[in-house]
Amino acid sequence: MQSNPEIRIGVDIMGSDSSPELLLHAASDLSASLPANVKLIAIGHPRFEHLSKLPLKAASETIEMQDAPLIAIRRKKDSSLCVGLRMLREKEIDAFVSAGNTGALVSYAKVTLAMLPGLMRPALLAILPTKRNPLVVLDVGANLQCKATHLVQFALVGAAYQLARGVKMPSVGLLNIGSEALKGTSELRTAYQELQRLSKEPEAFFRFAGNIEGKIVFDGNVDVLVTDGFTGNVFLKTAEGLANLILDRINENLSGDMAQNMQDHLQDLHSHLHYAEYPGALLAGVKGVVIKCHGYSSPEAFSSGIREAIRVVGEGFLQILQNKLFNRKA
Amino acid sequence: MQSNPEIRIGVDIMGSDSSPELLLHAASDLSASLPANVKLIAIGHPRFEHLSKLPLKAASETIEMQDAPLIAIRRKKDSSLCVGLRMLREKEIDAFVSAGNTGALVSYAKVTLAMLPGLMRPALLAILPTKRNPLVVLDVGANLQCKATHLVQFALVGAAYQLARGVKMPSVGLLNIGSEALKGTSELRTAYQELQRLSKEPEAFFRFAGNIEGKIVFDGNVDVLVTDGFTGNVFLKTAEGLANLILDRINENLSGDMAQNMQDHLQDLHSHLHYAEYPGALLAGVKGVVIKCHGYSSPEAFSSGIREAIRVVGEGFLQILQNKLFNRKA
């Protein structure tokens, strides 16, 4: 019997809105239930070493939430965030999970890990529930403004992610304000044409579903939804806010067991919509698996981010994406 | 006893995805229940005259949904949409309600009615339910890309709208991806500074609540949410799509009376989120009251759009907005 290859996950316990103790505890608890081939390595200040049941890689500094990202990554090279990403580059770990400063994580990942050939910018990729299959949305916050080229590259990344999850010929849509080809900004119109062209190439690995409006996104007719980081972030947070409003209304209108029952059922939906909380967003496009958990991750959400990292490594997302990009260039 | 002044509403029965007969019928039915001072005037093809219980202003042409807006308004000057907007300009009616081509309506309103002094672009303004008070959102689709100046003007328009509804010192927020002043695009950052400055002037008629994320919008802590037409449109349609998803889940999980009860309760929320359907969006900033109903308005939604027009005229929104703009310039 072939044994599974070892999977090593670096876990940043610093710099989030949760305490390092809480995140360390969550990771330790999770560790006990993981298969033997998965190793977690905590990364954080040495003062937490005596608390840790996991091996701890010492990092003397911490990038805080309110730190300016570009300054922080220059000045705090021994922060857990920077140390973790360098460990990933040096292949000391197979994935890195952090609930720290998003801007710093994106920027330092880009310079330290570098982009995969054929890609220009990393994107934050989230998975959402729909009426049918889970939907991949990117970018949900790494790039405020995007050119058509970036959007097209996000489409390739998202499609490769769904391929890795086992979806054959994933369908890709562009988030837009109408379904017609001429809707939206000029960048969206250019991206539309280019995606249509690419989807007809012999080596195409996705179908192009055209423009998709927010109101039909949750019907689950596409596997990948492409958008710029500003719109994608508004999209996700709006979904979260509305889920909240509806849960509230249900609370007002149902009582006792029935309310609890319905709440439990919809809570799952709500948690999933709380994007970077559960199961975290993948920073996609860089040479390495990086999962960004929400700044105020609960222990469950943080564990869920670690599980996501294990899954993405196990499914071979990076290799699949790299192969697809290489085929396109060849 | 002072009698109420007459309110005349022009109702476009052509060019929507619903049939003219259906819209005519909806308007006639509504008319019977309106106060004596409100008169509805149907605007449409003379072939519908024999069906109409309302006075019908003849318009021989129809701008179709798929017509290119700028070409349509040049070539179809005798369309119901163009005739109605000219009637509004000539003060033959006090408001115009249409479920026709949005682009044509916005463009022709802008050239025919002209903008109020101090405003550069019309915005589509929608009202949404929240956990507390109704929220005004603009722009929800008239302008894909906006400069800081446009956003600031939308804030004034939205605040005047809430003033007209009786809200004292409405609070205004900018839809953004984080609450800090430096979040978002450069246009948003400039708009932030300018709104902060304006809200501190002695003649200020709104409070500035800063940047608002989609996830807290529905908490109802602001009265006006300002955004560009692309983001605003995605915002609304996402809310609609998610409401749909949740209604669906509830259907699966509740049975019989309980499901019906909950559905009825949340249907109201859902209808409200179906923005231009119920109660329609106000095309704000032009010299006249124009309500845009959804292209596939149900009779109820169309009637609701007409009622909204009556309310906006009755509350004196245009005069209030004009006064506020005049005070700023003086």
- Return the residue in B215, B272, B278 with the most chain A beta carbons within 10 A, the one to mutate for interface testing: B215
Q: pLDDT tens-digit profile of B151-172?
A: 999 999 999 999 999 999 999 9
The shortest C-alpha distance from B19 to chain A (Å) reads 22
Q: What are phi and psi of A290, to 5 degrees?
A: -125, 125
Does residue A61 or residue A279 have the better pLDDT? Answer: A61
The shortest C-alpha distance from A89 to chain B (Å) reads 30
Say how far apart CA B62 and CA B77 lie, in whole Å. 9
- Return the residue in A131, A175, A187, A215 with the most chain B beta carbons within 10 A, the one to mutate for interface testing: A215
Q: pLDDT tens-digit profile of B97-128?
A: 999 999 999 999 999 999 999 999 999 999 98
Q: What is the DSSP string of B117-167?
A: TT--S-EEEEEE--SSS-EEEE-SSS-SS--HHHHHHHHHHHHHHHHHTT-
| pLDDT at residue B179, rounded to an integer | 87
Q: Which of B71, B32, B41 is nearest to B59 (CA)?
A: B41
Residues of A in contact with B234 (CB under 8 A): 175, 177, 214, 231, 234-235
| pLDDT at residue B278, rounded to an integer | 56
Name the closest residue on chain A to residue B185, using Cα atoms: A144
Cβ(B146)–Cβ(B139) under 8 Å?
Answer: yes
Cβ(B10)–Cβ(B57) under 8 Å?
Answer: yes
Cβ(A228)–Cβ(A151) under 8 Å?
Answer: yes
- One-letter amino acid at B252 equals E
Domains of chain A are 1-117+285-314 (3.40.718.10), 120-275 (3.40.718.10)
Cα A143 to Cα A71, A152, A155, A212, A309: the distances in Å are 18, 14, 14, 20, 22
CA angle B259-B293-B281, nearest 5°? 90
Chain A, 123 to 142: residues with Cβ < 8 Å from chain B are 129-131, 141
| B306 has pLDDT over 80 | yes
Interface check B276 vs A, CB under 8 A: no
Q: pLDDT tens-digit profile of A231-275?
A: 999 999 898 888 888 777 777 766 666 667 766 766 666 666 664
The shortest C-alpha distance from A87 to chain B (Å) reads 30
ipTM of the complex as predicted: 0.87
| pLDDT at residue B277, rounded to an integer | 47
How large is the average pLDDT for residues A312-323? 96
- pTM for the model: 0.90
| pLDDT at residue B2, rounded to an integer | 59
Say how far apart CA A214 and CA A225 lie, in whole Å. 10
Cβ(B50)–Cβ(B64) under 8 Å?
Answer: no
Q: What confidence tier does B274 reach under pLDDT thresholds 50, 70, 90? A: low
| B137 has pLDDT over 50 | yes
Contact (CB<8Å) B144/A177: yes
Interface check A242 vs B, CB under 8 A: yes
Interface check A145 vs B, CB under 8 A: yes
Using CB atoms within 10 Å of the CB of residue A195, give its burial: 0 to 12 exposed, 13 to 18 middle, 19+ buried.
Answer: buried
